[in-house]
Amino acid sequence: MNMVTSENAVTDRAHAQTASSPAASSPQAQGVPASADGRLGTGRGAAVIIASTSAARGEAADTTGPILVDWLRSRGYDCPDAIVVRDGEPVGQALRSLLIDTPEDRRPRIVVTSGGTGLAPDDRTPEFTAELLERQSPGLVYAMWRKGLESTASAVMSRGVAGVRGRTFVVNFPGSKGGVRDGIAVIDELLEHIQTSIEDTTDHGPRV
């Protein structure tokens, strides 16, 4: 488990991840389709932010970061280990580092957060995310609620948002393993369409 315990450390780590990523400056990062290996994320970067005060302090294990990182890597994305931060402002700092401070051509194409979407006073992940998005996609959130309701009524307690900044797709998942798996089940099915839409490589065809 990788832990980040200060805002400066969050910024330094996010910059190091994007600067060292070979995907950041590759042709695919400029909008060229995935390479012949057929994996959607090939040549593209991704990042995972875990909002968990207890995990950031070393008092608990990060149980959702590895799931998300493995998923994104399996889809071909160049995804470093999860950035683990305290709930609240450190989440905003991590997001701003990836989506604003990082040069545009080195930004990840997908950023997934887990945690901080509930009703506790420091659950502010959706607020920090929403203020950075240029366009939101509430239908994706609704689909994740619906999927989660198959298992638990508390799924609707998640206040997560999803949307786009520039050419980066950002989505908030709940902090539980079940919520993360539900989110993956929904987003994975739509990920190709999301990516090609953002990169403007979708062939819409005639509308009837």
How many domains, in total, are found in the chain?
Answer: 1
Measured at the CA of 61, the angle between CA 4 and CA 98, to 5 degrees, comes to 35
Six token digits for residue 35: 């390479």
Domain membership of residue 206 (yes or no) is no
Domain membership of residue 205 (yes or no) is no
Contact 8, 89 (CB under 8 A): no
Residue type (1 letter), 72: L
Domain membership of residue 31 (yes or no) is no
Q: How many other CB atoms are found less than 10 A from the CB of residue 2?
A: 13
Domain membership of residue 139 (yes or no) is yes
pTM: 0.82
CATH of the domain at 86: 3.40.980.10
Domain span at residue 146 reads 46-198
User: pLDDT tens, position by position, for the chain (208 residues)?
Assistant: 444 444 455 555 555 554 444 444 333 333 334 444 568 999 999 999 999 999 999 999 999 999 999 999 999 999 999 999 999 999 999 999 999 999 999 999 999 999 999 999 999 999 999 999 999 999 999 999 999 999 999 999 999 999 999 999 999 999 999 999 999 999 999 999 999 999 986 555 544 3
Contact 62, 78 (CB under 8 A): no
